[in-house]
Each structure stands twice: as structure tokens, then as C-alpha cells.
């Protein structure tokens, strides 16, 4: 299965850009203080540096972490596992177990699953109530 994974290059580039923005914020703050500017000019520089630090941590984490987020690379499941797919699979398995637990022997409702989307459907349904496709007889 193919999945969209983060590109390490764009994330690293964002991290380097964040470091540059932090340096700019430091220079801005030093310049504003040395010129005797009103208090909100140096404060702007400090806020700028804070935002740059947060972005640098986020981008460098995306560039080096195994379970990272982005939308640039498409990889095979054999290359990297998709953490979101694992979460979805675990949730759907829990839902199936809950639904199967509700159907006891002798209960008139029989649960089957749509072959197209996996949604639980009753035996007498002609169409899936989730994806709308005609169910096989």
C-alpha cells in the first residue's frame, strides 16, 4: 500500500530557514534596544525568536523522526509503516469486535460487511449505507 510521508529535504530546509529567522530576530532585538526604540520593537524581536525556535524544533523533528508528518513523499508499506493506517486499523478492529458482541445466537440481525468499504451492513440490505454501492447477493 502506498502512503504519503514527509519529505526529509523540505523539512530540513524549513528547519534551516527557521534558524535564519531566529538569527534575524536576535539582530532585530539588539538593533531595537541599541537605538532606544519603544518597548514593543524589542518585544517583536523576542516573539520572532520564540516562533523561530518552535518552527525549528518542529521541522528538524520532521526531518529526522521515523513517524513524521508531511505531504511530499509517497512510500511503500515495505519501506515505512504508516502510523495513521495502524491507528485506523486498530479502531476498525475495535468497532468490529463491538458489533459482533451485540449479535448473539438467535438474534434476528445478521452482520456482514461491505466488500468495498468494510462498513457493517445487515443481511437484507441491497446497497451499502455508507458508500452507496450495490452489495453482492
Q: pLDDT digit string (tens) for 62-81?
A: 778 766 655 555 555 665 56
pLDDT of 118 reads 81
pLDDT(129) > 90: no
Task: With a cut of 80, say whether residue 99 has pLDDT above it.
Answer: no
Report the pLDDT value the prediction gives residue 9, as an integer from 0 to 100.
Answer: 67
**In which band, very low, low, confident or very high, does the pLDDT at 121 lie, cut at 50, 70 and 90?**
confident
| pTM greater than 0.85 | no
Cβ neighbourhood burial of 7 (10 Å; 0-12, 13-18, 19+): middle
DSSP 112: E
Residues in the chain: 137
The pLDDT of 86-91, averaged and rounded, is 65
Angstrom distance (rounded) from CA 106 to CA 122: 15
pLDDT(21) > 80 = yes
| Residue 47 confidence (pLDDT) | 96
Distance CA 82, CA 2 (A): 9
Query: Is the separation of the CB atoms in 111 and 100 below 8 Å?
Result: yes
Kind of pairing, strands 120-122 and 2-5?
unpaired
Beta strands in the chain (DSSP E): 2-5, 73-76, 111-113, 120-122
Cα(12)–Cα(29) distance, integer angstroms: 26
Amino acid at each position: 500500500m502506498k502512503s504519503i510521508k514527509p519529505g526529509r529535504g523540505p523539512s530540513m530546509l524549513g528547519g534551516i530557514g527557521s534558524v535564519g529567522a531566529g538569527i534575524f530576530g536576535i539582530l532585530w532585538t539588539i538593533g531595537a534596544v541599541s537605538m532606544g526604540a519603544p518597548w514593543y520593537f524589542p518585544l517583536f524581536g523576542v516573539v520572532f525568536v520564540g516562533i523561530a525556535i518552535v518552527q525549528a524544533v518542529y521541522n528538524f523533528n520532521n526531518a529526522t523522526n521515523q513517524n513524521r508528518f508531511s505531504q511530499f513523499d509517497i512510500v511503500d508499506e515495505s519501506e515505512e509503516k504508516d502510523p495513521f493506517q495502524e491507528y485506523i486499523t486498530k479502531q476498525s478492529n475495535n468497532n468490529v469486535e463491538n458489533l459482533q458482541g451485540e449479535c448473539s445466537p438467535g438474534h434476528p440481525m445478521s452482520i456482514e460487511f461491505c466488500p468495498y468499504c468494510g462498513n457493517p451492513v445487515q443481511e437484507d440490505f441491497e446497497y451499502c449505507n455508507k458508500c452507496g454501492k450495490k452489495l453482492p447477493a
